C-alpha cells in the first residue's frame, strides 16, 4: 500500500483533481465547501490501472494553513505538485516544493491543472517554468502531465503515470515497532474514539494493546479500517483508521503517536542534520527560535548550531534542537523548521536522546558524521557509546534498526575485532544474541572496570581488615542490572580486575593482615573465650574491625551483637545439639542449656544462629533438623 499526496498553491485545483481521480470529495468540512477552499487535510483513495490500491492525502494550499499541510505530507510515497496552468508557479508552489525537498520526497510528478483554460503555447511556457523551478530539488526531472479536472482530459494518462512511478517504489520497512502519527481524531457514535494516520515501521492487529505517546495512555484496538474496509491486521505504509477502547476522545489529538507500549518516549533534545532551504528568506543563526514540525506534531524550539555561527540558505550543518514540549521522535525522522511564517529548513534526526554537546567539539561532530552515514555499525556504536550496559531490545530501538539487522551486524563485529562486550542470554557457540542480552561498548567497559577498582580500593582503605566489598554493595554503586551482574563480576575477575572472595570482591593484591598490637589483642580475646567456651564473656570485645576479621578468618563465630563463641567451642556445641536432635528428633532451648551447661542467653543465641544457617528450624518452642 502506498500513499500519494498533493502539494501546491491555493486555488490551483488540488481538491478538484483528487475528486476527478477518485470520485471522492476530500473537503470534509462545511466551511471548506462554503468557502471553496481547503482548510484541513482531506483523504481519498483509488485503484490504479494495475489494480494497485493507493491512498490520497489532500493538503491545503493557503499560506495560513501550512502547519496543516505539514501534518499531511510526512508519510508520502509519491507527491503530486499541482500547478494551475493559467497561473503557473506561485509562492506556495515554491514553499510546498521546498517542504517536499526538505522531507526528501524522492518520487513525484507535476500536474498542470486547468489545461482547458489555456492554449498549447501558454501551456508549454508554464511547463518550462515548472521544470526550471524543480531544478536542484528531489523532484528535479519529474514528469509533467497536463489535465483538466472539469473535462477529464489527461486524467487517465495521469493514473497510468502514477502506476508507473510506483512500480519501483520500495515498500515501507517493518522493524516491528509500529507508529501511527495521528492526523485526525474523532468519535464514531456507538464505537468511541477513532484516530487516523499513515502507519509506519510496523503493523497493528485487532485486540492489540497500544499506547499513545507522549501521554503514555494505554488503549486496545477495537477495530481497524482502511478505505472503509474492515481489517484484521494493518500493514506498514497503509492509511489506517483505528477504533480505540480504553481512552476518551478528549484524550487524543493530532500530533499524538499511536504505538506499542513501553518503547517510544518523548524527548526534548535532538541531534539533527539541518539543511537550510535555498529559498529560505532568512539564515538560521545559533540559538534561533523556530517552530519545529515532525510527523503530525509541532512545538516551539531553539536551534543550537554545533559547527557554525550561522547557516545561510542552501547550506547544511549539525545542530541540537531544544524542544519546548517533548515529542515522540525516533532516529531518521524528518522535520521542518519555520519562523516568521516562512519555511527555513529541515533535515533528519540523528539522535533522539543525545547528551548536551559543547559547540565545535571535534569528537561529537565526528560521531554525528559517522551516524549520518547510516551504516548499521555506526548506528549501533553510537547507540552504545557512553550509555553503559544496554539491553539488546533497547539498543535496536535507539539505533532504529530491526532486531535481525542489529543481530547480524553485532555478530560480524564480534567475530572480527570485537568492539563490544556481549553478555547474558547469549549462545557463545552460535553467537546468537537474544532479546535479553546486554551489550557494552569497549570504552564503557574499560570505564566500568575502572569504577569497580576505585570502589574496591576505597572500601579497602576504609575497612582494611575486611576481605572485600560485598557484591551487592558493588552492584548498587556501579548501577549494574542484577540480571547481568554475575557475568560482569566473572568477566572482571577473569581479566584480573577483581578477585572474588565468597560473597565479596576485592582487588587481586588485597590481603588483610592484623598489626602486631591487633594480633596480641585478638589472641588474648580467643584465650578469654576458650576459658569459658559455652559461657564466654560479653563485656569485653576487641575493635569491631578486628572482630570482623577474626570472624572472616574463622577464629570466632558471632551469634549476636553480644554473644561470640570461639570456633572450636561453636563446633563442639553444634555437634552436641545435632547428636541430641538425631536421637530425639527435637530439642528445646532448655535442653540445649542443660546439654552445654550454660545459661538460656547462650543456648537461645546458639539455636537462633543455627536457624539462620538453615541447620535447624523452629516448631513452636522446639527445634528440629531442617528437612525433618
Beta pairing, strands 53-58 & 2-8: parallel
Which residue carries 507508529 as its cell? 179
Among 60-74, 158-172, 193-207, the least confident range: 60-74
pLDDT at 150: 92
* Residue 168 in this model has a pLDDT that exceeds 80: yes
Question: Is 215 exposed, middle or buried (CB count within 10 Å of its CB: 0-12, 13-18, 19+)?
Answer: middle
| Nearest residue to 354 (alpha-carbon basis) of 392, 401, 304 | 304
- Domains annotated for the chain, with CATH where assigned, are 2-166 (3.40.50.300), 179-259 (2.40.30.10), 266-365 (2.40.30.10), 373-512 (1.10.10.10), 516-625 (1.10.10.10)
What are the tens digits of pLDDT across the range 320-330?
999 999 999 99
pLDDT confidence of 412, banded at 50, 70, 90? confident
| Nearest residue to 42 (alpha-carbon basis) of 201, 229, 196 | 196
Which residue carries 549520518 as its cell? 372
Q: What is the mean pLDDT of residues 88-94?
A: 93
Return the sign of the alpha-carbon dihedral for residues 210, 212, 216, 220: negative
Question: Is 43 exposed, middle or buried (CB count within 10 Å of its CB: 0-12, 13-18, 19+)?
Answer: buried
* Residue 423 in this model has a pLDDT that exceeds 70: no
pLDDT at 414: 67
Percent residues over pLDDT 90 in the chain: 62
Question: What cell does 547 get?
Answer: 572482630
456: CB partners within 8 A, 6+ apart: 468, 469, 474, 498, 505, 506, 507, 510
Q: What is the mean pLDDT of residues 44-68?
A: 88
pLDDT confidence of 60, banded at 50, 70, 90? confident
pLDDT at 89: 94
* Three-state DSSP string of 337-356: EEECCEEEEEEEEEECCCCC
- Residue of higher predicted confidence among 301 and 427: 301
Percent residues over pLDDT 70 in the chain: 96
What are the tens digits of pLDDT across the range 427-472?
444 446 677 788 888 888 899 999 999 999 999 998 888 888 999 9
pTM given for the model:
0.72
Return the sign of the alpha-carbon dihedral for residues 439, 443, 446, 450: negative
φ, ψ at 203 (rounded to 5°)? -115, 155
Instruction: Give the Cα separation of 466 and 459 in Å (integer).
Output: 9
pLDDT at 467: 85
pLDDT confidence of 418, banded at 50, 70, 90? low
Cα 272 to its chain centre, rounded Å, is 17
Mean pLDDT score of the chain = 89
pLDDT at 409: 81
pLDDT at 420: 55
SS3 of 84, please? strand
pLDDT at 594: 93
Among 71-75, 555-559, 591-595, the least confident range: 71-75
CA-based R_g, the chain, Å: 36
pLDDT at 340: 85
* Residue 250 in this model has a pLDDT that exceeds 60: yes
* Residue 426 in this model has a pLDDT that exceeds 90: no
pLDDT at 425: 44
pLDDT at 427: 47
pLDDT at 430: 44
pLDDT at 432: 60
Contact yes or no for 237/2 (Cβ under 8 A): yes
* Residue 63 in this model has a pLDDT that exceeds 80: no
- Residue of higher predicted confidence among 211 and 420: 211
pLDDT confidence of 302, banded at 50, 70, 90? very high
Cα 107 to its chain centre, rounded Å, is 30
pLDDT at 415: 65
What are the tens digits of pLDDT across the range 336-373?
999 988 999 999 998 888 888 889 988 888 888 877 77
pLDDT at 158: 95
Question: Is 415 exposed, middle or buried (CB count within 10 Å of its CB: 0-12, 13-18, 19+)?
Answer: exposed
| Nearest residue to 419 (alpha-carbon basis) of 390, 455, 445, 387 | 445
SS3 of 422, please? strand
pLDDT confidence of 296, banded at 50, 70, 90? very high
Amino acid at each position: 500500500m502506498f500513499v500519494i499526496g498533493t502539494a501546491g498553491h491555493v486555488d490551483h485545483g488540488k481538491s478538484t483533481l483528487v475528486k476527478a481521480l477518485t470520485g471522492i470529495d476530500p473537503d470534509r468540512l462545511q466551511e471548506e465547501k462554503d468557502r471553496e477552499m481547503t482548510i484541513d487535510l482531506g483523504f481519498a483513495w483509488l485503484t490504479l490501472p494495475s489494480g494497485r490500491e493507493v491512498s490520497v492525502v489532500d493538503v491545503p494550499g493557503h499560506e495560513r494553513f501550512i502547519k496543516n499541510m505539514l501534518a499531511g505530507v510526512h508519510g508520502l510515497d509519491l507527491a503530486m505538485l499541482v500547478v494551475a496552468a493559467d497561473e503557473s508557479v506561485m509562492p506556495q508552489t515554491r514553499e510546498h516544493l521546498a517542504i517536499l525537498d526538505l522531507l526528501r520526497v524522492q518520487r513525484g510528478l507535476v500536474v498542470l491543472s486547468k489545461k482547458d483554460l489555456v492554449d498549447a503555447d501558454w501551456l508549454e511556457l508554464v511547463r518550462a517554468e515548472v521544470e526550471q523551478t524543480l531544478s536542484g530539488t528531489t523532484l528535479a526531472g519529474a514528469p509533467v502531465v497536463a489535465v483538466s479536472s472539469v473535462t477529464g482530459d489527461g486524467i487517465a494518462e495521469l493514473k497510468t503515470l502514477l502506476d508507473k512511478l510506483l512500480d519501483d517504489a520500495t515498500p515501507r520497512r517493518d522493524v516491528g515497532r509500529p507508529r501511527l502519527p495521528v492526523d485526525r481524531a474523532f468519535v464514531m457514535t456507538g464505537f468511541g474514539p477513532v484516530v487516523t494516520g499513515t502507519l509506519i515501521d510496523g503493523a497493528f492487529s485487532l485486540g492489540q494493546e497500544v499506547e499513545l505517546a507522549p501521554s503514555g495512555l494505554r488503549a486496545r484496538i477495537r477495530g481497524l479500517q482502511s478505505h472503509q474496509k474492515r481489517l484484521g491486521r494493518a500493514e506498514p505504509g497503509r492509511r489506517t483508521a483505528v477504533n480505540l477502547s480504553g481512552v476518551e476522545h478528549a484524550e487524543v489529538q493530532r500530533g499524538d503517536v499511536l504505538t506499542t507500549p513501553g518503547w517510544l518516549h518523548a524527548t526534548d533534545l535532538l541531534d539533527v542534520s539541518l539543511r537550510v532551504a535555498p529559498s529560505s528568506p532568512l539564515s538560521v543563526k545559533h540559538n534561533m527560535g523556530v517552530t519545529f514540525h515532525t510527523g503530525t506534531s509541532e512545538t516551539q524550539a531553539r536551534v543550537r548550531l554545533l559547527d557554525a555561527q550561522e547557516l545561510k540558505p542552501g547550506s547544511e550543518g549539525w545542530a541540537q534542537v531544544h524542544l519546548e514540549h517533548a515529542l515522540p521522535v525516533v532516529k531518521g525522522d524528518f522535520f521542518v523548521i519555520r519562523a516568521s511564517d516562512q519555511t527555513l529548513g529541515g533535515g533528519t534526526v540523528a539522535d533522539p536522546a543525545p547528551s548536551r554537546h559543547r559547540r565545535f567539539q571535534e569528537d561529537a561532530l565526528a560521531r554525528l558524521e559517522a551516524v549520518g552515514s547510516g551504516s548499521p555499525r555506526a548506528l549501533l556504536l553510537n547507540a552504545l557509546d557512553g550509555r553503559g550496559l544496554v539491553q539488546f531490545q533497547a539498543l535496536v530501538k535507539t539505533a532504529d534498526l530491526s532486531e535481525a539487522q542489529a543481530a547480524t551486524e553485532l555478530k560480524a563485529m564480534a567475530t572480527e575485532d570485537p568492539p563490544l562486550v556481549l553478555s547474558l542470554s547469549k549462545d557463545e557457540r552460535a553467537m546468537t544474541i537474544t532479546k535479553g542480552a546486554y551489550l557494552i561498548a569497549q570504552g564503557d567497559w574499560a570505564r566500568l572496570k575502572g569504577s569497580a577498582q576505585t570502589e574496591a580500593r576505597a572500601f579497602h582503605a576504609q575497612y582494611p581488615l575486611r576481605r572485600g566489598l560485598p557484591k551487592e554493595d558493588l552492584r548498587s554503586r556501579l548501577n549494574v542490572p542484577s540480571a547481568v551482574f554475575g557475568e560482569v563480576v566473572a568477566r572482571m575477575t577473569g581479566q584480573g580486575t577483581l578477585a572474588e572472595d565468597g560473597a565479596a570482591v576485592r582487588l587481586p593484591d588485597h590481603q588483610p593482615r592484623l598489626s602486631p598490637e591487633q594480633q596480641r589483642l585478638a589472641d588474648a580475646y580467643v584465650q578469654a573465650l576458650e576459658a569459658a567456651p559455652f559461657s564466654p564473656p560479653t563485656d569485653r570485645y576487641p575493635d569491631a574491625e578486628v572482630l570482623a576479621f577474626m570472624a572472616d578468618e574463622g577464629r570466632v563465630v558471632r551469634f549476636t551483637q553480644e554473644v561470640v563463641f570461639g570456633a572450636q567451642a561453636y563446633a563442639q556445641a553444634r555437634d552436641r545439639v545435632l547428636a541430641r536432635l538425631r536421637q530425639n528428633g527435637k530439642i528445646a532451648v532448655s535442653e540445649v542449656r542443660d546439654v552445654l551447661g550454660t545459661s538460656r542467653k547462650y543456648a537461645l543465641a546458639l539455636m537462633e544462629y543455627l536457624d539462620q544457617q538453615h541447620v535447624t528450624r523452629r516448631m513452636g518452642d522446639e527445634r528440629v533438623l531442617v528437612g525433618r
